[in-house]
Structure 1
Amino acid sequence: MANHSQVIFLVSISLLSLLASQICCLPLSVSNRWIVDSKTGQHVKLQCANWPSHMSVMLAEGLDKQPIKHIILQLHNLKLNCVRLTWATYMFTRYSNNTVQQTLDSLGLANTKAGITEHNHDVLTMTHPQAYVYVVDQLAAQNIMIISDNHISEPKWCCAPDDGNAFFGDTSFDPKEWLQGLSMAAQLLKDKPNVVVMSLRNELRGPLQNTNSWYGNMTQGAQTVHQGNPNVVVLISGFYNDNDLSFLKDKPLNLTFKDKLAYEVHAYTVSDPSSKEAMSSIFYHPQTGQCMKSRKLGDQVEVNECKRVSGWSLNGTQIKFQSRRKVKCLKANGDGNPVLLTKDCSNTNQTSWKPITESGMHWATVDAQGNQLCMQKDANSSTILTAKCICADSNSSCMDNPQSQWFQFVSSNVK
Structure 2
Amino acid sequence: MLGFTERIKNEKGFNLHFIKTKKYKTLSIVVKIKGNLERETITKRALLPYILQQGTENYATKQDLQKKLADLYGATLSIDGGKKGESHILSLRLELANEKFVPDASSITEEGIALLIELLFNPRKVNGSFDNAVILREKDTLLRKIQSVQDDKMAYANIRLIEEMCENENYRLHVHGYEEDLAEIDSTNLYNYYKKMLLEDQIDIYIQGDYDEEHINDILSPMLHKQLEDKKSNVLTEKSSKQKQTKKEIKQPKEIIEKQQLQQAKLHIGYRTNVTFRDDDYSALHVFNGLFGGFPSSKLFINVREKNSLAYYAASRMESQKGLLLVFSGIAPEDYEKARDIIRLQVEAMKNGDFSLEDMQQIKELITNQLLETMDHPQGLIELLYQQVLSDWILPPKQLIDNINKVTKEDVVQVAKKLEEDTLYLLTTKGDASDE
Tell me the TM-score normalized by structure 1: 0.25
**Which of the pair has the greater relative contact order for Cα pairs under 8 Å at 6+ separation?**
2
Q: Which has the larger radius of gyration?
A: 2
TM-score (norm 2): 0.24
Q: Which has the higher helix share?
A: 2
